[in-house]
Chains A and B, each alone.
Chain A
């Protein structure tokens, strides 16, 4: 299959898609609310968010398993909103793999080709090739029940890609695998997607997995997309406190905008002033905000460092390669992390320390609490 001509990758656009459910207690609940997304041809985009954020519903609407109440979905410019799933040309990998228990591996993989009435000779070749591609050469006559979780996952993947889908969709495909296998499989999925140059949309609640595989990540919460961007964008320039704390760890330090100048703002926090990037938001002096301080952006030193903040070690957790500290500083408890430089370098609880914060590692978000509508 790798030897044949690659089909032209297509983009996926989701415009203002909304899906409501009637809930016995809560009344109408929005599983997805005005979701808008543009996935470029060949791009690997991940929908990331906690359980119940609407990521799976959005993916299922893109697949055609569910119909949106409002909005429009297009594949390569063609409106597919009302097109049934079997006519969209998708490859879907389910969380539970959804392998047909009564069919062999070959039968499962060949299923989509048989539906397309591909000649049996071609099917045999295609099945052999794709099984080799996912590392399951020779497994044709096995049945799903005889295989391990990782192997089943590969069959599910082979079954999805052998039909050369226009779009490849993944619904938490790795959540049933053990930690080690998860890391291996996500790298394989990424490599395969690059090699086949298929547009892919991937759903997960695991931020590390999302960062490892994606070109771009759309963070969802309460049925809406909160922010879309590359892993670096989201980490360094989160748009909301929710994004800041969902992607990586973050100290959300109360802050006030003191002055603005172009794309820079001056904020006051912890009794100090910091000059940082304004981000996308228009700030006015006097606005209250939250300063995002990543634990690894807090540099700890022995007291006496000129220009440093003063703090007290409240607690520490020894993790081997690194040590997590909780530092009380100007009435705020900060998480800080420091790589272990040796036994003599540990700071004891109660010790006074000097803190410096790297200005370019700081970000500012509106003080909307964590208040993302649920």
Chain B
């Protein structure tokens, strides 16, 4: 495929990349000015809806459609919660956007607030992104000083406050209602939905929760138009009336056993193999890949034979993975044991389960214990049956939990048993142990 001209990453490394002056010199806030002067909020919202933009946080829900769930003619306040919690393992594109080009993100936030009539935007930022925090705060301070935030932005009847709210190391606070609970100062326990945040969200008011990368796209959609956005990516499957398509540029993260771990911007739809070989520098140490995590660990596991799967919103589903997720690919080579990969994943979910729902709290705990016992050489053939049963029964899709963490926890286990059964059975039969036995269960 011909080289794609970056949009979201186009300014990285330029002098004055993070300053207001630098952003303005590159045409920044011109779109916001145009929108405030020439379009009403409904027009901006309609543009985003018609563009087919889908959320980049993992669920891929159509952004403009989500905005329409806000009650019409609500007296307010309406809140925008910006999800900058980015904690899905192997994912780091939002970090790059905030560290390198904070004003691009902020212009999108202001436009989205204008479109949704939000009066305050809270950026829930994971604590671990200290550099991003300081960069974003500086940029926000510049905006207040230049009539681009606060009262009467650019002299219009439009007021907006933007506040950074730092998290404290909990993956579940990336779940939209877990985020809201944490913002409100409580433990990050996700809420039962409905009501959805658009109806009753932060502080019991209508709230929209959007991902950083999603919001960064908003400016470009308003600036360059719907036709431009739809010229990038993959149109909907004509045979499926419910397919919303995979439009726009996407930041892909590639990590693990590749020569060049990095973040690269490309149209939605390139394959895993292209990402690994063309942009990730190929598998390291002259080895072959055994498989990969296709979109953050919650999406499951792909075998090397499935690497020709396109990474758009439809592709991963066709090979039994949960979806595109965060489009973060992490490759493991042929010398890596699938049991160690699974052990790492199960340990993560057991640690991060918030504990609210029994199937998740107990299920993630048991999957972790079973896989750790396998890593210690004491696996039993029945373990695969138990793991499969647990993995298939926890989650919002089978309907047994409040949020989707459990689905994420189950999918890699399901995929491993389905796609790597041979390796798992051999491991158990031989009483094989982890290459890092001393570290199993050590912390």
A and B are partners in one complex rather than unrelated chains: no
